Structure formats: C-alpha cells, structure tokens
C-alpha cells in the first residue's frame, strides 16, 4: 500500500512538472554579428524557473560553448561561440526540459556593415553639439505619453517630460550641421520608466530599448544614418555605474551581488580622489565606488563577471547596431576600476579608431589625467579611454571670466590651468567646453553678459582639444544662475508648435539672439576650415593688462587669438609676439575676412575675442623665424 501511494505521488509530481509552461521574459542581447573580435557572446536568459532547462541550437557556425547558473533559478547565462564563417540570418534557440522542447526563442546573427571595425571616431577636427532630447524638439506629440510608461508629459513642470523626441532631432539635423557642428551627442535615449525625473535619461530601466517616448530602436538607428548624410556623427551617452530603481533587475536580481550596498541605501561620498590617494581610508574609497549615485539610481557591482560581460556587450551592441562614432561615458570614475579597464580595452580592441570620452567631474587635472589612455599611473591602473571631459579647464574658464582681473585672478587662472597639460598623455584629445547639461549656462554664470559669453565661446573653439557646445546657448538660453537642472535644460525655442521664437528659422528672435547665433555659426564653420586650430600646436603668453594671447600653428598656417576682457578698447603691443608676427606681416579677421594691419600695435575692442589668420610669408626673415621655431621643438 505504501509503495502504491509513493508511486502515485511520484506520478502526480512528474505530470505536474511536465505540464509546467515556461516563458522567456528577457533574452539579451537579441542579436550579434559575424566577424566580431568579441565572438563569444554571453546571453542573459531570464524567465520563471528557466534554470531548469537546457539550451540547444543548430545553426552553421554557432555552438553553445558554456552554460552557467546563479543562485537565482530564473536565470541562465548561455555562451555562444560564433565562427568567422557563421551564416548570417535568423535562428531559434531551443530550451529542453529533459528530452522535451519546452520552448523556442528567436535569435539573430547579422552581417557587419562594410568597414565597421575601422570606423573613425571624433577627434580635434570635430565639434560636438550636446542636446537634451526631451527639451530639443517635439515632432511627434502622439508619443509624449505612452501606455506602460509611468511618467506622463507635463510641459508646465520644469522637471517633467516635455515631449522632445528623436523625430524632432532628425527634423533639425540640417540646422545643427549648418551651425558648424560635426558630432551630435544626445543625453541618454534609452528607456527610463521612472515615476519622476525620467526626462534626463540617466536612470535607465532597459539597456537594450530606446524609450518609446523618444521613439524606437529603429528610430535611433535611422537618426544615426540620417545624421551621417548631414555630415554628423552620433555619440551615445553610456551609463555603466548605475541603473534606475525601476529597472526590472530590481524585482528579480540575477545574483545576490548584482548591486552594491543593497542592505540599506548608502549614497556615494563623491570623494573621487580616493581612487588614487595613497593615504585614503579603504572605507572611503569603497563608499565612493559602491555608494549609490542617488536613491533612485542603484549602484551596479561590475565585479560580478556576468554583469561585467553584460555591460561590455551592451556597449559593443549599440556601437554596431546604431553605427555610432563615439561614446560619452557618464560618472566614469564611480565604477569599478578594473572593470573600466576591461570595458575600455574591449571597445578599443573591437574598434581601434573609435572615440570615447569619460566624465570625471574634478577641477584637479591629475585626477582627470589618471583615466586617459597612455597614462602611467603609480597605482598600476591601465586606462583605455582616448579622451576625457576637460572639467579642470571648464571650471578655470568659468572662474576666470567671473573674477575681477588681477595679478592672481582672472585670466591667469586659466593660463596656469592650461599649463597642466604636461599631466595628460594626450591633451589634444580632451573635450573642452564652457557648459553642459549639469552646469548653469555660461550666460547665467556671467550675469547675462553676452560679450563675456562670446569670449568663452571663442576660447572653447580655438584652444586645443575637441570643442563641445550645449544646445540653445546660440540663441542665448540663460536659465538660473544657481544650478537648477529642469530650468537650465530649457526647451529649444521653435521646437514646439506655438513657440513665439524659433531658433531653427530665426523667426521671432531678438536682434541679440540673432547676433549670438550668427557668431556661433561663423565661429564653428570657420573652425571646420582651420587645420591650425584643429591639429596645430599651441603657444600662449602670460596674460597682461586683461588680455590673454595665444597662437595655434602647424608649420603652414598661423592663427592668433587675443582675448580682451577689459570693458574698454585697448591697444596691444605686438613686439612680444615677433616669433609669430614678423615685421611686415599681414592678416585678416578669421570670422569676417576683414584685412588687419599687424604693425606695432593691434587695437582690441572691449570684451572681445580677436581671431586673426596670419598670412604666410615667404621672405627670408619669415623663413628664419620658422627655422628657429622648428629648432626649438615648437
């Protein structure tokens, strides 16, 4: 009798188990490419009880190289090995429950675009236009609020969603290119299904999905293709340090150590010096890296090998899928240091001429230089980032223009900050800027002084590095003097129906707005034609009497930049610059083409940037000057 009961229970259990229905909620990445160096792809498979199943596939050139489980029965990590001769196309991955196929899931292997691995990233020949998509232009009001997305549009709320979208960006690519910019950097476009503050994009809830209020993945790819036709590259804003607290991982983490500090909220201490500080307490360093950025952004633990692989593959997938020309990596130093090396190395191995720039928000150039490729660090960290955002120079520029001019204030702080270039392995690859989406706009910082604002724009356009400009400043968007994100990321005039002013057409703009817009347009279109500014060396002269002078030169062309912050006109003696301006030299204004006499003195208007292209000389005296400069290694 006991045996009979046991057999009945066993049969009942077996029948229930075999009747169980499985489903896959997520399988990422959903595709890959033939011919990638990264040819072993680890799939994250997520579904209720999925770890009970065994994956199987049959496709020419693809095999399952490994299957791993975590402590969570709802995950499988399946590694696919892709041979160089694998056949592109759609396929199915089967998941077996014993000998029975419990479910099938589609997957795709694609052929790479020709020349994909050799794609050229941005460099100092380029100029970047940064925009906040939700605030740039709304071309499809129908997607302002989307079913399933928690936050709905509310343009009256400075911190709410305003409805800007990918279609709005596409509509105005000709405007961006016409302003002289060659690279487009939108802040993150991926899904942010958060209850509030979701417009900015930095609390991602799905790393493989474009937020439907911006558009679709295909819209993202179409933006890249269309931008390319306008001469614009596309830079993706990548977040490796954290996700949004409504990411689906939060409800069902793949592993207990997927996130840092989950026992209770612990915010980062923001002490970025601890990464390099030989005296730093381990607890302080750990809290910087492991603390959550804010309560709504849980910190990822990149020391988990599956998570590290997931993030690396996600970056590679978007580069290949969307045809990107660059990556801007958010909150760079907050992530695990060893992982940052592995991530950077993987990207640059796959795309040797690609461009990436990291955000390390520090006024200290030694802190920023630590992360740039080629830096030999005392702690042994090997960085792979080709570029970093030049926060030290940005902060020095803002400080210089806001201070009264003095022996130890004003221009001298900017001059001495630039002198720190010896700390960087490649200062010419840094990205320079006056403002971004996280800082009060330069015009607000300067109390609305447009003349000083023009000085800042001229500096960013002519100093070494790749310039980055923030949308809307060309029509004098100002915002608050103290940082208030929702207000400084204001709507672009003309991006919404009914706007009284239109930056894209010029209609309704004030004379001051039109003048500022034309200044930016002339400045950056000229820069596109100036190899000396793009690639040339830089020599600057210690500021004197409120005037800061430097030269950009490449052996063929010479550009003189004279920045006068005095409220009134001054006469600049030129004898100090004889190596660059020999007697009898001629020049013309770089932006207007007006001839300029380079005699004993040069008149400079008050609060102005004078940019002069010095005509090449072929006489003996000029050749002797050039020879001296070459001999001195300049």
Provide the percentage of residues in the chain whose pLDDT is more than 90. Answer: 92
Identify whether 193 is part of a domain. Answer: yes
Q: What is the pLDDT of residues 82-121, one digit of tens each?
A: 999 999 999 999 999 999 999 999 999 999 999 999 999 9
Q: Which residues pair with 294 in a beta bridge?
A: 297
Give the pLDDT mean for 151-166: 98
Pairwise CA distance, residues 82 & 60, whole Å: 9
Nearest to 325 by CA among 182, 442, 145: 182
Tokens encoding 540: 């600057």
Q: Using CA atoms of 577, 579, 580, 582 in order, give the dihedral in degrees to the nearest 10.
A: 90
466 and 553 both lie in a single domain: no
Catalytic residue among 350, 359, 421, 485: 359
Tell whether 300 and 278 lie within a shared domain: yes
95, 53 Cβ separation under 8 angstroms: yes
The predicted pLDDT at position 634 comes to: 54
Pick the last residue of a domain from 490, 516, 532. 532
Q: Are 370 and 329 in contact (CB under 8 A)?
A: no
Active-site pick, 123, 330, 360, 474: 330
632 pLDDT band, cuts 50/70/90, is: low
- For the chain, helix (H) and strand (E) counts, in that order, are 17, 26
Catalytic, 140? Answer no
Residue 86 belongs to some domain of the structure: yes
Q: For residue 236, give the 3-state DSSP assignment.
A: strand
Give the tens place of pLDDT for each residue, 460-500.
999 999 999 999 999 999 999 999 999 999 999 999 999 99
Q: What is the pLDDT of residue 338?
A: 97
Which neighbouring-strand residues pair with 233?
Answer: 183
Confidence at 617, pLDDT banded by 50, 70, 90: low
Residues 510 and 543 in one domain: no
Count how many domains the chain has: 3
pLDDT for residue 623 is more than 80: no
Determine the pLDDT at residue 369. Answer: 98
Within this chain, do residues 550 and 520 fall inside the same structural domain, yes or no?
A: no
Q: Are 517 and 475 in contact (CB under 8 A)?
A: yes
Length of the chain (residues): 634
10 occurs within a structural domain: no
Asked if residue 416 has pLDDT above 90, the reply is yes
Per-residue pLDDT at 573: 97
* 401 within 8 A of 446, measured Cβ to Cβ: yes
The pLDDT of residue 13 is 38
Residue owning tokens 């002289």: 180
Query: 325-344 burial, b for 16+ CB within 10 Å, e for fewer?
Result: bbbbbbbbbbbbbebbbbbb
Q: Is the peptide bond before 29 cis (omega within 30 degrees of 0)?
A: yes
Q: Tell me the pLDDT tens digit for each residue of 246-273.
A: 999 999 999 999 999 998 889 999 999 9
Residues 471 and 563 in one domain: no
Residue 33 located in a structural domain: yes
Query: What pLDDT was estimated at residue 631?
Result: 57
429/499 same-domain check = yes
Q: Is a pLDDT exceeding 70 seen at residue 11?
A: no
Mean per-residue pLDDT of the chain: 94
Percent of the chain with pLDDT over 70: 94
Print burial letters for 181-205: b (CB count within 10 Å at least 16), e (below 16). bbbbbbbbbbbbbbeebbbbbbbbb
Q: What is the dihedral of CA 407, 409, 414, 418, to 10 degrees?
A: 50
**pLDDT of 12 over the 70 cut:** no
Note whether 82 and 163 are same-domain residues: no
Together in a domain, 239 and 94? no
Domain boundary among 514, 532, 550: 532
Per-residue pLDDT at 628 = 61
Regarding whether 348 and 249 lie in a shared domain, the answer is yes
> Are 143 and 133 in contact, with CB atoms under 8 Å apart?
no
Decide: 337 and 358 in contact? Cβ < 8 Å: no
Cα distances (Å, whole numbers) of residue 561 to 162, 334, 608: 40, 37, 10
Q: What is the pLDDT of residue 436?
A: 98
Where does the pLDDT of residue 548 fall: very low under 50, low under 70, confident under 90, or very high at 90 and above? very high
* Per-residue model confidence as pLDDT tens digits over 200-251: 999 999 999 999 999 999 999 999 999 999 999 999 999 999 999 999 999 9
For residue 265, what is the domain's CATH number? 3.20.20.80
For residues 316 and 263, what is the distance between their CA atoms, to the nearest angstrom?
32
Instruction: Using alpha carbons, list the distances in angstroms from residue 110 to 82, 107, 199, 414.
Output: 11, 10, 32, 50
Active site residue 589: no
Same domain for 286 and 176: yes
Q: Is the pLDDT of residue 192 over 60?
A: yes
CATH classification of the domain holding 579:
2.60.40.1180
Confidence band of 20 (pLDDT split at 50, 70, 90): confident
Sign of torsion over alpha carbons 101, 107, 110, 116: negative
Considering the domain boundaries, does residue 521 fall inside one?
Answer: yes
Same domain, 175 and 321: yes
pLDDT of residue 10: 41
List helix spans (H) across 127-278: 166-171, 173-178, 217-229, 248-251
Q: Phi-psi region for residue 250, left (φ > 0), alpha (ψ -120 to 50) or beta?
A: alpha
Decide if 7 is inside a domain: no
Reading the block at residue 137, the tokens are 């232009």
Domain boundary at 111, 144, 163, which? 111
> Torsion-angle region of residue 332: left (phi > 0), alpha (psi -120 to 50) or beta?
alpha
- Does residue 567 register a pLDDT over 70? yes
Domain that holds residue 575: 537-631
Question: What phi and psi values does residue 64 have, to the nearest 5 degrees?
Answer: -90, 115
For residues 545 and 464, state if they share a domain.
Answer: no
Does residue 614 sit within a domain? Answer: yes
- Residues 580-590 have pLDDT tens digits of 999 889 999 99
Residue 4 located in a structural domain: no
């Amino acid at each position: 009798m006991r045996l009979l009961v046991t057999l009945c229970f066993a049969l009942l259990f077996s029948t229930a188990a075999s009747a169980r229905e499985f489903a896959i909620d997520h399988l990422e990445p959903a595709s890959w490419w033939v011919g990638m160096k990264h040819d072993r792809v680890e799939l994250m498979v997520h579904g209720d009880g999925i770890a009970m199943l065994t994956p199987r596939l049959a496709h020419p050139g693809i095999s399952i190289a490994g299957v791993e489980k975590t402590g969570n029965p709802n995950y499988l990590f399946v590694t696919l090995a892709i041979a160089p001769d694998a056949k592109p196309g759609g396929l199915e991955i089967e998941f077996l429950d014993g000998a029975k196929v419990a479910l099938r899931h589609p997957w795709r292997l694609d052929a790479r675009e020709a020349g994909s691995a050799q794609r050229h990233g941005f460099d100092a020949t380029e100029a970047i236009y940064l925009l906040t998509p939700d605030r740039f232009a709304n071309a499809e009001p129908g997607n302002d609020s989307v079913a399933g997305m928690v936050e709905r549009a509310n343009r009256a709320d400075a911190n709410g969603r305003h409805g800007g979208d990918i279609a709005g960006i596409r509509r105005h690519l000709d405007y961006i290119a016409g302003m002289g910019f060659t690279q487009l950097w939108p802040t993150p476009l991926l899904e942010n299904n958060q209850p509030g503050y979701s417009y900015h994009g930095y609390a991602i809830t799905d790393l493989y999905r474009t937020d439907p209020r911006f558009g679709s993945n295909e819209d993202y790819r179409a933006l890249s293709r269309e931008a390319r036709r306008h001469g614009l590259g596309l830079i993706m804003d990548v977040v490796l340090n954290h996700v949004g607290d409504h990411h689906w991982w939060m409800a069902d983490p793949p592993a207990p150590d997927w996130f840092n500090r989950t026992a209770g909220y612990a915010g980062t201490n923001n002490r970025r010096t601890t990464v390099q500080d030989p005296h730093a307490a381990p607890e302080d360093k750990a809290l910087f890296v492991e603390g959550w950025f804010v309560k709504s952004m849980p910190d990822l633990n990149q020391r988990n090998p599956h998570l590290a692989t997931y993030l690396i593959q996600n970056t590679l997938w978007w580069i290949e899928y969307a045809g990107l020309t660059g990556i801007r990596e958010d909150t760079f130093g907050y992530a695990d240091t060893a992982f940052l090396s592995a991530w950077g190395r993987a990207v640059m191995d796959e795309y040797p001429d690609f461009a990436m720039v990291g955000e390390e928000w520090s006024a200290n150039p030694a802190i920023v230089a630590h992360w740039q490729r080629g830096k030999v660090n005392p702690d042994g960290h090997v960085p792979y980032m080709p570029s970093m955002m030049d926060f030290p120079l940005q902060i020095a520029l803002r400080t210089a223009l806001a201070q009264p001019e003095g022996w130890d204030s004003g221009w001298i702080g900017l001059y001495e900050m630039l002198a720190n270039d010896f700390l960087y392995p490649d200062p010419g690859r840094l990205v320079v800027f006056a403002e971004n989406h996280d800082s009060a706009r330069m015009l607000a910082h300067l109390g609305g002084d447009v003349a000083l604002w023009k000085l800042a724009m001229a500096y960013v356009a002519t100093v070494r590095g790749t310039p980055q400009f923030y949308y809307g400043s060309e029509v004098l968007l100002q915002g608050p003097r103290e940082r208030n994100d929702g207000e400084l990321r204001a709507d672009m005039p003309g991006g919404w129906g009914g706007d009284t002013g239109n930056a894209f057409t010029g209609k309704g703009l004030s004379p001051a707005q039109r003048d500022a817009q034309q200044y930016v347009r002339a400045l950056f279109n000229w820069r596109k034609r100036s190899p000396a500014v793009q690639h040339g060396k830089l020599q600057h002269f210690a500021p004197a009497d409120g005037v800061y002078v430097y030269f950009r030169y490449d052996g063929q062309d010479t550009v003189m930049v004279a920045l006068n912050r005095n409220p009134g006109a001054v006469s600049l003696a030129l004898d100090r610059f004889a190596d660059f301006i020999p007697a009898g030299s001629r020049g013309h204004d770089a932006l207007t083409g007006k001839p300029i006499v380079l005699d004993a003195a040069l008149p400079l208007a008050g609060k102005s940037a004078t940019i002069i292209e010095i005509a090449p000389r072929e006489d003996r005296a000029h050749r002797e000057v050039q020879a001296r400069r070459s001999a001195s290694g300049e």
